[in-house]
Copies of this chain bind each other. A is one copy, B any other.
């Protein structure tokens, strides 16, 4: 059964309360930049969505990418700078966890305003909420996001821009809505995402561009790092300057990486 695509040029689309995305968080999402009327790095996002769909056994037909890309392109028409959000669910079903064999997946396409510019003196904090270890769901960008909601609810003032999260084994994983890179003894490191966390598309770009390695990170290691930055597909690369009492000055390597990203993707030009 082919994809059901829901989008609204203006206004917010409605979905059925029988959609399994609503009932169980049975689906996936992608958020990407929309720049000069076109989605930025569509291929990387669709590839991750497809990997997630395989992990959840949500059937995507060969022609679905073309249909989704055309619908997204149509929704983007004329918009200069925005965020494009895709939500793919297993589609509608009755009550009960068993995936309906004849479910027709739903794709919801939405356009959102760009977030406010990040502060130049960006601060992060440690979250108390831990990420549970669940290899079956690790890496993919699924819709079960209560841990992120609880973590982001830990503060409601401007004291921190993002929160850093550990897993239940006390290993550092990522920020709430961004991946994390740190430099330790001259070596760029980002934590693995095979137990929990999301394999960000910008994380993949940075891993290759720096280059960096995947390795375990503890809280003291992050606090002792020579430099750190966050990254995601909406905000690009964000240098971190404060964590508790620790301060980091502007780092030349991060500045250079941001210039390279802006050259590769004009959406991320900071000036």
Contact with B along A81-92 (1 / 0, CB 8 A): 001010100101
User: Number of A residues contacting the other chain (C-beta, 8 Å)?
Assistant: 59
Q: Contacting chain B: which of A69-77, A108-116, A236-244?
A: A108-116
User: Is A209 part of the contact surface with B, judged by Cβ < 8 Å?
Assistant: no
CB contacts (< 8 Å) of A94 on chain B: these are 112
Q: Which residue of B lies closest to A110 (CB)?
A: B17
Shortest distance between the CB of A105 and any CB in chain B (Å): 14
With contacts A87-B22, A156-B98 taken as known, whether A108 is within 8 angstroms of B149 at the C-beta atoms is: no
Shortest distance between the CB of A142 and any CB in chain B (Å): 6
User: Is A269 part of the contact surface with B, judged by Cβ < 8 Å?
Assistant: no
User: Is A252 part of the contact surface with B, judged by Cβ < 8 Å?
Assistant: no
CB contacts (< 8 Å) of A101 on chain B: these are 156
User: Is A59 part of the contact surface with B, judged by Cβ < 8 Å?
Assistant: no
User: Is A9 part of the contact surface with B, judged by Cβ < 8 Å?
Assistant: no
User: Is A143 part of the contact surface with B, judged by Cβ < 8 Å?
Assistant: yes
User: Is A21 part of the contact surface with B, judged by Cβ < 8 Å?
Assistant: yes
- List 5 A-B residue pairs with CB atoms under 8 Å apart, sorted by A's residue number: A13-B16, A95-B115, A101-B156, A133-B133, A136-B150
